[in-house]
Each structure stands twice: as structure tokens, then as C-alpha cells.
Amino acid sequence: MRLDRLLANQPHLSRQDARLLLARGQVRVDGQVVRDAAHEVRAFARVEADGLPIQSGCTARYFMLHKPAGYVSATRDPQHPTVLDLLEESDRADLHIAGRLDGNTTGLLLVTNDGRWSRRLTQPDSQLGKVYRVDTAHDIDPACVEHFAAGLYFRFENLITRPARLELLGPRQARLTLHEGRYHQVKRMFGRFRNPVTALHRERMGPIVLDPALGPGQYRALTIEEIASV
Ligand code: URA
């Protein structure tokens, strides 16, 4: 929210008061004087006007979870356990998932309360690579490497998928790097070649790699470097 609006929303401050406080350098955001009325204030910022707290600022939270199969990527579900049930955090109701996985997909799931950060990872046009290990029911046709690199037409969205990199690891196993996130994208891509995906595991999202020390269902806070890398 704009700083002048945040100030003028306070019951004890008029718009005129807000302008004066800003002009006099009496407004601090995270300890720094800010005079720009249009300054965008984040939910995590601490704001004071004339020494009095206006917004206390909540703590930004970032976690990586090794998602096990059988958990749904939702904050609530009437039938199945959700991935948020795996987090023993008192503020988990404030957290959201940055890039959902299907119920039977395993691997890296990022969870945060920072919407701006998660959008950088999940916007449809985000170029950050998402890397999946894929097991299939039948042998993978080596021609898929070229087809996936050229892009496949998705009729529902009326688009051609971005060039994807397919690396064959075995007759029925591959590593696939996508630069977008369409609904059930991996399964639909292999489905086009009548080869059902039998197991799907996300290894990486952009620069963040699933920590091998985390077993299924375990999680940890991201490091400062991991947060800043996105
Ligand atoms: N593509 C899929 O088909 N499923 C996932 O869970 C992720 C990507």
C-alpha cells in the first residue's frame, strides 16, 4: 500500500497530517526516514510516524518442504491431508504455497507468507526453470527430446509450450526442465505420447534445490542466500 494512504487510514491522522509528517521527515519505514508519499509499503515493513507505531511489520517466512505423495497442495481440504498440515508453525494459516504439486507428485515445495516473492517464482511468464524427475509406464520415445524442445500445442490454453529440456536417464526415466507452469503440464506432455507418468518428483525451482537431508514430510527454513536468489 502507498505510504500516504497507510498514514491517512489511521483514525488519528488526516490526509493533511499525513502530508505534513512526510514533509517534516517524521515518518520512518524500517528505521529509515521516507518522505515519498508514493513509497510502496510492504506488509513486512515496520512503520512509525512521529515516533508512534503505525504498522508493526510481520516477519517474512520462507520454507522448503519435501512433499510426500498423498498430500494436497492446498491450505484446506475436506478429504485429504494438506501440505500445510506438515508444518509445525503457529502462523501456518498465513502461509501459502509457491507453485503447487499434484497430490501424487513428490519433492520440492516452497511455502511462504511473502506474496511478492512467490509471484516471482510462479508467474506464468517466470523464466525460472523447474526441474522434475519423471518415471513413465512405457519406454520414452527419444523423439520426445526434440518435440519437447520445439514445444507442444495445448488446445485448452491455445498456446505452444515453451522449449523444455528432456534428458533421458533410463528407458523409462527422464529429467525434464520446464520454464513455465501449466496445469498438469508434465503429465499432459507425456500423455501426448500415450506414455502415462507413474512417478513425478520436483528436484528444483529456479535456483532453489531440494535439500537431500530432508526426507519426505520434512521441512526447513530457507537460508538468506536461497531467499535472495529468487
Ligand atoms: N506437472 C504435473 O503434471 N504435475 C505436477 O505436480 C507438476 C507438474
Please choose from 200, 203, 204 the residue to mutate so as to test ligand 1's pocket, defined by most ligand atoms within 8 A of CB. Answer: 200
The mean pLDDT of the chain is 94
Residue carrying the nine cell digits 506414455: 195
CB–CB of 164/182 below 8 Å?
no
CB–CB of 69/83 below 8 Å?
no
Residue carrying the nine cell digits 535472495: 228
H or E stretch including 23?
A: helix 15-23
- Quick one: pLDDT at residue 59? 84
What is the 3-state secondary structure of the chain? Answer: CEHHHHHHCCCCCCHHHHHHHHHCCCEEECCEECCCCCCECCCCCCEEECCEEEECCCCCCEEEEEECCCCECCCCCCCCCEHHHHCCCCCHHHCEEECCCCCCCEEEEEEECCHHHHHHHHCCCCCCCEEEEEEECCCCCCHHHHHHHHCCEECCCCEECCCCEEEEEECCEEEEEECCCCCCHHHHHHHCCCCCEEEEEEEEECCEECCCCCCCCCEEECCHHHHHCC
For the chain, give the longest Cα–Cα distance: 71
pLDDT (tens digit, 9 = 90+) per residue, 85-114? 999 998 888 899 999 999 999 999 999 999
Question: How many Cβ atoms sit within 10 Å of the Cβ of residue 170?
Answer: 10
pLDDT (tens digit, 9 = 90+) per residue, 156-206? 999 999 999 999 999 999 999 999 989 999 999 999 999 999 999 999 999
- Quick one: pLDDT at residue 42? 84
- Quick one: pLDDT at residue 96? 94
pTM over 0.85: no
Residue 82 β-bridge partners: 72
Single-letter amino acid, residue 121 = L
Please check the confidence at residue 76 and state whether its pLDDT lies above 90.
Answer: no
Is the CB of 131 inside a 6 Å radius of any atom of ligand 1? no
Residue 104 CA, closest ligand 1 atom number? 6
With cut-offs at 50, 70 and 90, classify the pLDDT of residue 48. very high
Is the CB of 105 inside a 6 Å radius of any atom of ligand 1? yes
Please check the confidence at residue 125 and state whether its pLDDT lies above 90.
Answer: no
Is the CB of 200 inside a 6 Å radius of any atom of ligand 1? yes
* Dist CA 178 CA 114 (whole Å): 23
Residues 6+ apart with CB under 8 A from 129: 177, 178, 179, 204, 206
Instruction: Please give the domain boundaries of the chain with CATH numbers for all domains.
Output: 3-55 (3.10.290.10), 62-228 (3.30.2350.10)
CB–CB of 105/202 below 8 Å?
yes
